[in-house]
Amino acid sequence: MYRFYINNISNDYHYSELARVFLADDEFEVIGINMPGGRLPLREGSFIINRSGSSDRDEIKREFYRLLSDITGRESGWGTLTGVRPLKLAYEMLRESGSLSGMEKLLSERYLVSEEKISLLREIAEYQISVLNDDPSSVAGLYIGIPFCPTRCEYCAFASTVAPEEDIQEYFDNLLREISYAGSLAKEHGTVLESIYIGGGTPTTLNAEQLGIMIDAVSESFSVDPSDIEFTIEAGRPDTITADKLGVMKSHGISRISINPQSMKDETLRRIGRDHTAEDIRSGYRLASEYSFDVINADLIAGLPGEDEADFRDTLEEILTLGANNITIHTLSVKRGSRLRENDPEYYRRDTDKVAAMVGYARKRLREAGFVPYYIYRQKHQMGALENVGYCRPGKHSIYNIRIMEEKQTIIALGAGGIGKVYYPDEDRLERVANVNNYKVYNERFDEILARKNEYYQS
């Protein structure tokens, strides 16, 4: 057990998060102290950080990072950064320095970010700057959650449940009421939508008729034409994709869908709790190609149990062949609430070099295939303290994905598991408006859920 005594701090959170990049929870303790000169009798395995008593958190974290790196013999490409939105910080550095080169310098010197990660952030920033010109705070995004899946994946901690049809219908009826009410408020206050994203769970757990009714409800309630706005529906699980459902989406003007394989290895799919095969994924893509969707997104995960680098490379190559033009490379995160976390909480600490090689290969291969990175985020308990990166063929990016990481826009969230955010541009501040996660609680407390929609318009 290492004990890290950090002088002149009032809260150990940021330092404990940094320690977790290098050490398991039961391997360390961070203890705040306040003593002139930082003098303290030390036992073996104990260290004092910030003997000088500095009040500069970044300076203290740099010292702590270097100590942790010396102790473990490892480094993190993200340096002292532990937050989930590194690009948001990069933009702050851009505004502070006034140039991309100044941003790079600050990321390196202030946060010890590696040259590789800085290059990635710059590439993403340059792409976003080139395609997004409007003030994001003048418009809003809409998220609608469908919290149902055919099965629950081993790594999943989202608000998704296997439910009987009668429960899904009850939820759906309430969701339509929430859509109608939120839309009436949006019209009353002049809210204009920039993007609409229907996620989950698996939205295509709904049947074709329900999908059509929901799209019509959104269109009418928010006065939008789906063919004139970025409107995405996740059709993530291929075992929920049918010609009827794709036909309904296409006929209603939906141009963007997701078909998310995670892996193209049957053994892996069984291991992580999916009831479909790689051939089902191929069939889903072939079927979707008949409807000429403008964007088909695929999510792949590096670090799935039992997979090696060759498995990951094979999956990526096949997804490129199948025609996905927007691909997010996720690094596996062992999330609290997932079965994987319960069964093997330290899984994310093993084979991190192998996973880093997968992520590195994806970046190189996608570039070769004409893709560009366009958004990025990180998660806790992510293998190798790495990242998730969205790649697209130029012009096939998702504005919704960019905005939700940028945090400069109001996102109206409907449905169980939806977490909305109200953005106040004058203060550069966000306030959360959260719905409950459990669909049964959503139904039971629906009047309360409905009333929360007024919070988007309180000054």
Domain boundary among 21, 40, 72: 72
Pairing of strands 193-200, 140-146: parallel
Residue 108's CB is within 10 A of a number of other CB atoms, namely: 15
Same domain, 118 and 156: no
Residue 93's CB is within 10 A of a number of other CB atoms, namely: 21
Same domain, 201 and 252: yes
Residue 93 maps to a domain = yes
Same domain, 158 and 51: no
Element (H, E) at 325: none
Looking at residue 182, its pLDDT comes to 98
Q: Give the side-chain half-sphere CA count within 13 A for 194.
A: 21
Q: pLDDT (tens digit, 9 = 90+) per residue, 318-338?
A: 999 999 999 999 999 876 666
Residue 443 maps to a domain = no
3-state secondary structure of 81: coil
3-state secondary structure of 190: coil
Token pair, residue 181, equals 């009410």
Number of structural domains found in the chain: 3
- CATH code for position 160: 3.80.30.20
Same domain, 204 and 180: yes
Same domain, 154 and 217: yes
Same domain, 232 and 347: yes
Residue 445 maps to a domain = no
Residue 411 maps to a domain = yes
Residue 452 maps to a domain = no
Same domain, 200 and 61: no
What is the pTM (predicted TM-score) of this model? 0.93
Same domain, 172 and 217: yes
Same domain, 161 and 119: no
Residue 451 maps to a domain = no
> In which domain, by residue range, is 48 found?
2-72
Looking at residue 162, its pLDDT comes to 75
Same domain, 378 and 298: yes
Give the full edge-to-edge strand order of the sheet including 46-49.
28-33, 2-7, 46-49
Same domain, 185 and 314: yes
Q: Which residue has the higher pLDDT, 459 or 429?
A: 429
Residue 454 maps to a domain = no
Choose among 43, 45, 36, 28: nearest CA to 8: 36
Please state whether the peptide bond connecting residue 337 to the residue before it is cis, i.e. omega within 30 degrees of 0. Answer: no
Same domain, 102 and 29: no
Looking at residue 150, its pLDDT comes to 73
- Residue whose structure tokens are 């949006």: 186
Cα–Cα distance measured from residue 249 to residue 265, given in angstroms and rounded to the nearest whole number: 29
Looking at residue 239, its pLDDT comes to 87
